Amino acid sequence: MKNVVVIGAGIVGLSTAYYLLKEGFQVTIIDKGDITSGASFVNAGYITPSHIIPLASPGMIAKGIKMMFNSASPFYMKPRLDTDFLKWSWYFHKSSTLAKVEKAIPLIKDINLISRQLFTDIKNSGDLGDFQLERKGLLMLYKTEASYLHEKKVAERVNFEGLEVSDLNKSELHKLEPNVNIEAEGAIHYECDGHTTPTEIMPKLLIYLKQQGVVIKTNEEVLDIKTSGTIIKEIITDKDSYRPDEVVLAAGSWSGNLAKKLNLKLSLQGGKGYSINVARETGISIPAILMESKMAVTPMNGFTRFAGTMEFSGNNDVVRKERVHAIANGAHSFYPDIEINDTEINAVKTGLRPVSPDGLPYIGKSSKFTNLTIATGHAMMGWSLGPATGKLVAELLSDTKPSMNLTAFSPERTF
């Protein structure tokens, strides 16, 4: 029985362990934290086939430069002289073309649809017990004509790709969400999308993996990776050392730093997001993106989550209060009866999403090391794509034909 070390215990790492276990591998997970926080716990919980446009799209760099000096803006790049960041920014700029976006659209759709089905399969298997998994769709709420016209173009493309979408006016929106006052002109409703409660699924997945014999090492940091020719021989941590047959690098925003230990180039930046949980009754029953506020709202099990922002300021957990207040204000502007209070604001959580320059994940085997597979770089779709990524990695390690062509996700692609 082959033994695999998975570095990283976010949704991608745990999903990878889940599917490797199903294929009969012996799995050890190593994570530098205690697996109770980070992007996999604080995200919006969306399963989003509708999100077919990658982050690297025309105009995004111009937006980033415009917003660079406003640390409360939804898309914020902290100006800094950091070689990795400057290279990544240049690759991001080069990837932000219509031609590259066109190539990415079907790929993003296909991997999301695989993942959506896998979430359902996991629920139906009973492995994790019961958990929230709903298909109520996603509302893109808008206040202005400009936002509506922008989203309508996306909706037309989503519809062309065969996904369910509808256009709602004010009264149709009220019929769908009768228990909350919404200050919006209407919504595009992506009926193809689903939602979950990440803080419910992550602990259940951990419990299941432990029960099935997966070894989980927490608060343990990988310090070095020893190689011999084209083989990874040993992983050295601050507590122990491991000699696995296979290694999966799924360490989220820290994957780039670990890749450097192997002299591999993996262009990645941590995109920080924030989330506020409101445990009071809000009346919100359908997930929504508030277009002008550029933030997400999700009715989860026991609370409503208000999440948002994409902040590139390095791998840190510094909370910028102005950004948190921008989320609270954005929520109030669309839901005027909902006031997020100081206690809720002060309990804000943050997480780093690993962002590749072209907005596509890195999923694939290394050509330099025969026993290394990389799975990271999912940007805002990490939660949505966790199960699909885990399944694809398990297929690669089992020498099974992958569920989809992975060429475009190659960790060694050029930008």
How would you classify the pairing of strands 186-190 and 138-142? Answer: antiparallel
Single-letter residue type at 347: A
Number of independent structural domains in the chain: 1
- Between 244 and 61, name the one with better pLDDT: 244
| pLDDT tens figures, 71-116 | 666 677 777 788 998 899 889 889 989 899 899 999 999 999 999 9
Give the HSE-up count for residue 356: Cα atoms under 13 Å, Cβ half-sphere. 26
User: Closest Cα to residue 77, out of 60, 94, 91?
Assistant: 60
CATH code of the domain in which 60 resides: 3.50.50.60
Confirm whether 415 is domain-assigned. Answer: no
* Angstrom distance (rounded) from CA 86 to CA 88: 5
Percent of the chain residues past pLDDT 90, beyond the cut: 86
Task: Specify if 80 maps to a domain.
Answer: yes
pLDDT digits (tens, 9 = 90+) for 197-235: 999 999 999 999 999 999 999 999 999 999 999 999 999
pTM here is 0.95
Q: Which domain holds residue 393?
A: 3-409
* Assigned domain for 148 exists: yes
Closest residue by Cα to residue 359 from 82, 81, 100, 21:
100
Ramachandran region, residue 45 (left: φ > 0; alpha: ψ -120 to 50; beta: rest): left
Q: Is residue 220 part of a domain?
A: yes
Q: Which residue has the higher pLDDT, 241 or 101?
A: 241
In a domain, 414, yes or no: no
Instruction: Please check whether residue 244 lies inside any domain of the structure.
Output: yes
What's the mean pLDDT when you consider all of the chain?
Answer: 94
pLDDT at 337 over 80: yes
Within a domain: residue 114?
yes
Helix ranges, 240-341 (H):
255-260, 321-334
Task: Assess if residue 127 is contained within a domain.
Answer: yes
Share of the chain above pLDDT 70, in %: 96
Specify whether the CB–CB gap between 251 and 14 falls below 8 A.
Answer: no
Whose structure tokens read 């794509």?
385
